[in-house]
Amino acid sequence: MTTEPIALSSALASFDALWSPRVVTRVDDYDVRVAKVEGEHVWHVHDETDEFFLVLDGELSIALREPGGERTVRLARGAVFTVPRGTEHKPSAPGGAAILMFERTGTSSVGDRRDGAIPGHVDATTGHPLGS
């Protein structure tokens, strides 16, 4: 972790991969991750931790499966949303987006999904170091 300021625009410019988050810094036991996203992620759940999203550019939709049914939240640039632990969700960004996330360190980008049905465009990772 660096002790110098990090420009998010520079962090995002340092990689091209979609759905492949980079760890910008850490806050206690949480990673601050940035990612470029486009198209659909996969349905997944984080049983032990919430997931915070901030849209830096573009628009992100998050489909949620909750008691009582499914709903979708749409996040424009500058909007934030927290997916509560235990909530199955699927992010998507048809037009592309840049996002910042807070996730507990070691949390997989595909949650607790173990069925092997992860498409090739989604990186199953706990976050890559910035610059990789």
CATH of 8-107, one of 3.40.50.970, 2.60.120.10, 2.30.30.180, 1.10.357.10: 2.60.120.10
Q: What's the pLDDT tens digit per position in 27-71?
A: 999 999 999 999 999 999 999 999 999 999 999 999 999 999 999
Residue 11 burial (CB count, 10 A)? 21
Token duo for residue 34: 């940035």
Reported pTM: 0.91
**Domain positions in the chain:** 8-107
Q: What's the pLDDT tens digit per position in 78-92?
A: 999 999 999 999 999
The single-letter code of the amino acid at 11 is A
What is the pLDDT, as a whole number, of residue 130?
87
Q: What distance in Å separates the CA atoms of residue 34 and residue 25, rounded to the nearest whole number?
A: 10
Q: What's the pLDDT tens digit per position in 93-130?
A: 999 999 999 999 998 887 776 656 776 677 677 788 88
